[in-house]
Amino acid sequence: WCRHFDIGLRRIMARRAIGIDIGGTGIKGALVDVKSGKLLSERLRYETPKGGTPKAIANTLKDLIANLPKSEGLPVGICFPAVVKNGVTKSAANVSNDWIDLDADRLFEKELKRTVHVLNDADAAGLAEAKFGAAKNVKGLVVVTTLGTGIGTALIYNGKLIPNAELGHLEIDGVDYESKAAFSAKEREELTWEQWAKRLQKYYGRLEALLTPDLFIVGGGVSKEHEMFLPLLKLKTKIVPATNRNSAGILEIG
């Protein structure tokens, strides 16, 4: 009986994990059922520490995890706003440059004392949409974009992720267009929905011309307000809000 109980318990434990989404502005985390994609706890949110250094972010994660119920020993999936190859962060767009070429998997495993897997935030959102959301069973090329502090992009082809696409940094009008079309630009410059939509039109128009996708999915916190800006875009490609809105990053914990 004990053995069966033990195996059963371990199975239940293996279905649970902690999903954490590190952004340039906020760090969010929750317990997740990895099979169903359902959140099993409240979503906690902390401010990203100023400067976004590895040590400061690791400390915030410790606090966050300590405040999640029944989280002892559970594995952690972390999505991060940078190119991530085999757990090593290779870039740093809205966080400290100390992340460049840092073994983030190892750092977090040491600090959090448990199994950790780090991946790019937009890729995590893309995988979550392919598994549980608007990209599920969609054939061809789906371009998932996240509009937040930066612009994240994930390419999903016939359900498979092509990792680390950094198309948020497309150069348009001589500038890195993330600085014009991310949601942070709307806030910083106090743009109206119409003014912002003009920039999004340029951005998605360029993506469309380069990739001829079958579907665009728009995620990030602002996608909750998709009715304010998606109807203003005129594209040949269908464009829909992410099903998982702002939790996509937390859901796909690798």
| Residue 168 binds ligand BGC (CB under 6 A) | yes
Nearest to ligand BGC of 122, 242 (CB atom): 122
Nearest to ligand BGC of 74, 170 (CB atom): 170
| Residue 29 binds ligand BGC (CB under 6 A) | no
| Residue 120 binds ligand BGC (CB under 6 A) | yes
What is the per-residue binding string for ligand BGC in 134-163, x denoting contact by CB under 6 A? ------------x-x-x-x-----------
- Residue choice 17, 64, 74, 82 for contact with ligand BGC (CB under 6 A): 82
Task: Tell me how far apart the alpha carbons of residues 204 and 187 are, in angstroms, rounded to a whole number.
Answer: 19
Scan residues 177-216 and list those touching ligand BGC (CB under 6 A).
178
Task: Tell me how far apart the alpha carbons of residues 220 and 168 are, in angstroms, rounded to a whole number.
Answer: 13
How distant, in Å, are the alpha carbons of 31, 171, 194 from that of 125? 16, 23, 26
Amino acid residing at 212: T
| Residue 247 binds ligand BGC (CB under 6 A) | no
- Residue choice 48, 60, 71, 94 for contact with ligand BGC (CB under 6 A): 94
State in angstroms the smallest separation of the CB of 226 from ligand BGC: 18
Task: Tell me how far apart the alpha carbons of residues 46 and 103 are, in angstroms, rounded to a whole number.
Answer: 23
Query: Nearest residue to ligand BGC, using CB?
Result: 150
How distant, in Å, are the alpha carbons of 23, 122, 149 from that of 194? 26, 25, 19
- Whether 183 and 57 have beta carbons less than 8 Å apart is answered as no
**What would you measure as the largest C-alpha separation in the chain, in angstroms?**
68
Other CB atoms within 10 Å distance of the CB of residue 236: 9
Scan residues 57-76 and list those touching ligand BGC (CB under 6 A).
none
Residues that bind ligand BGC (CB under 6 A): 81-83, 91, 93-94, 120-122, 146, 148, 150, 152, 166, 168, 178
